[in-house]
Amino acid sequence: MSSSLALVLYNTILVLENLPAEQSSESVQNITDIVHNIQLESNAVASSLRDSYQEVKEGSNQISNTGQTFNAISSSVSSMINNMNHVFNNLTDIATK
């Protein structure tokens, strides 16, 4: 529990001690509801952060895979250019003989 929430609860308890029983019971229920809602919202935020982290991780993996694919394509194109130059040189030798 955060220190600010603990302080709010502590101050609320001090106020509750001076209230009639019926008002005190209502206030306790209100506080319980507030704390429950804070817990629900905190859980939702935590879940959203986990989901976002997973999406970022998957995106990073996809970027890495794309980079590897482009490197493979670049290597293949370079190899093809070298082969074409070799064929061109052979054809040039044949043509000049």
- Please write the tens of the pLDDT for every residue from 38-97: 899 999 999 999 999 999 999 999 999 999 999 999 999 999 999 999 999 999 989 887
Instruction: Report yes or no: 24 and 16 within 8 Å, Cβ to Cβ.
Output: yes
How far apart are the C-alpha atoms of 67 and 59, rounded to whole Å? 12
Q: 6-20: per-residue pLDDT in tens?
A: 777 777 777 767 767
pLDDT of res. 19: 66
What pTM value is reported for the model?
0.54
How far apart are the C-alpha atoms of 23 and 7, rounded to whole Å? 21
Q: What is the DSSP letter of 19?
A: S
More confident residue, 17 or 31: 31
